Structure 1
């Protein structure tokens, strides 16, 4: 019998975290983060990590599992997260996967064939050299020709992922999508998606950015720089961090930095929505109907889950 897992997806700032806490309380669950930047220690404010006193006593996993000076791959995440999910299930708890990194969620809910996507250091070095000579945009244009689907998901400035996608294509002769093994999923997964009107979501994004500034994002990046983090590292490509680096290096003003973080967050939200919008397995709920979402999820999607969780509290008691 497959392990049952619940996945909560959707664009940044839509409210996935709050819903995950409510469902964890109702389902006696533990939360497994699927955020590619929350894996890094010391990157707290810019990645909107919950403080320990905000987690309501609910155990969170796959947060702070890597140093920001190292590269954390989706393969490494999948191996660690699947081991974690198995351990949660053995404890009789419900694994609840939460996050906006679609590739991470997909690496758990589907079977990815990592065996063929070995690394080719020589080819990678060639691409890196080309990026220095011709610019990252030229490599992104090449990726658009080789693998249009991957190119639309990967930011034009995300050199690490552009190179990886081109590398996979060079080695296997297939797109990233074609490298997904269509074998049986290891889990019985239910996908819950949160959405919101564009104006409302953008307001939440803008408010979050200002909150991050007030909480000390600049000081956080200073501490990371003191630890040896450079702007070319994978971790420092996260939204917010790379813009702060631009500010510190005198490339943009403080006001322009804040504006760029807001714009980049909005573009990221669009890419997150594009990742899932054609996925027929996702059950979508409008975040504006907050008072009814939990009941609707219980009645329409998770019938029988609540009754089977010993010690879980009634759904209505989680508001």
Structure 2
């Protein structure tokens, strides 16, 4: 099959909805390989807290863009776009179907869609970072909400780095940051998106069980080891859901039970945002996670099954 005829499949949806299982089913059925599009699974050592699939559970399927950065390296969307597109091109050149999977909507769209990155201004960035340090992310998030509510709705109020970037773009261009986000137009030929849907109650139950399993699997010990390597001083890795909550516990500010509940609450909020982001994209074909025919329906959606 010529490289440009090899489809590129992205499995999207909220955290804990069952994306990983469907991505493995698709890759196994199509002889494909998995490409990570989770912003935090790129970091080495951040395994339990990011629900990174252990090698033994990958069904022998090759996975890409996991464990490619140290925690003190900053993960930029532009650099991830470059790495992911290079990986996709290499797979397609070999006739292998890339199956992208992850809950980071911005990363998925940056890879698949037309997305040119606005420039930067060191002075503007420095001033905003100084303001972030002095006033905190919540104050800057409110400022972003005032000037660009669409952009603010898609950025967590705790994500100071992305808030600063959005305000920098608004300041430099005089246009909303949301205007610079990817257009709903594929840059990658042969792209398809399959969303995994799950009812809210079931999803929140799964999130609760996942968080409990993470803590039972040694999440606190993982964070403690990463703190010893400088996690608290990192710009990106330290903001992964669960890690600030456990760091607060390790600092004696909360109990472990409080850290568990705060992690679950933060994950529930993130899942709601993910649902909102992905459902704005009409190109996604949704399959129900509980549907025994979800693989067959996903294959039809990507043109690899009987209509």
State the TM-score, normalized to the length of structure 2.
0.94
Aligned in 2, Cα 1:281/1:177: closer, same or farther, shift over 3 Å?
same
Superposition deviation, residue 240 in structure 1:
0.8
Superposition deviation, residue 287 in structure 1:
1.0
SS at match of 1:211: helix
Q: Does 1:266 align with 2:264?
A: no
Q: Which residue of 2 aligns with 1:129?
A: 130
Q: Which residue of 2 aligns with 1:98?
A: 101
Q: Which residue of 1 aligns with 2:249?
A: 247
**2-structure distance, mates of 1:181, 1:285:** 24
Kept in 2: contact 1:28–1:93 (CA 8 A): yes
Please identify, of 252-261 and 169-178, the stretch whose mean Cα deviation from structure 2 is larger.
169-178
Superposition deviation, residue 229 in structure 1:
1.8
Q: Does 1:36 align with 2:59?
A: no
Q: Which residue of 1 aligns with 2:179?
A: 178
**1:159-202 deviation digits (Å, cap 9, x = unpaired):** 11100111111112222331246576232211100111111000
Kept in 2: contact 1:8–1:99 (CA 8 A): yes
Aligned in 2, Cα 1:3/1:110: closer, same or farther, shift over 3 Å?
farther
Moved beyond 6 Å, runs of 4+: none
Please identify, of 123-132 and 199-208, the stretch whose mean Cα deviation from structure 2 is larger.
123-132
Aligned length: 302
Q: Which residue of 2 aligns with 1:234?
A: 236
Q: Which residue of 2 aligns with 1:195?
A: 197
Unaligned runs of 5+ in 1: 308-319
**2-structure distance, mates of 1:64, 1:280:** 32
Q: Which residue of 2 aligns with 1:316?
A: none
Kept in 2: contact 1:231–1:245 (CA 8 A): no
Q: Which residue of 1 aligns with 2:161?
A: 160
Q: Among residues 50, 70, 82, which one is paired with 2:85 in the alignment?
A: 82
Q: Does 1:70 align with 2:66?
A: no
SS at match of 2:215: helix
Please identify, of 77-86 and 144-153, the stretch whose mean Cα deviation from structure 2 is larger.
144-153
Q: Which residue of 2 aligns with 1:310?
A: none
**2-structure distance, mates of 1:164, 1:128:** 9
Q: Which residue of 2 aligns with 1:140?
A: 141
Kept in 1: contact 2:6–2:95 (CA 8 A): no
Kept in 2: contact 1:2–1:186 (CA 8 A): no
Unaligned runs of 5+ in 2: none
**2-structure distance, mates of 1:35, 1:245:** 21
State the TM-score, normalized to the length of structure 1.
0.91
Q: Tell me the C-alpha RMSD between the 2 structures.
A: 1.6
**2-structure distance, mates of 1:90, 1:209:** 39
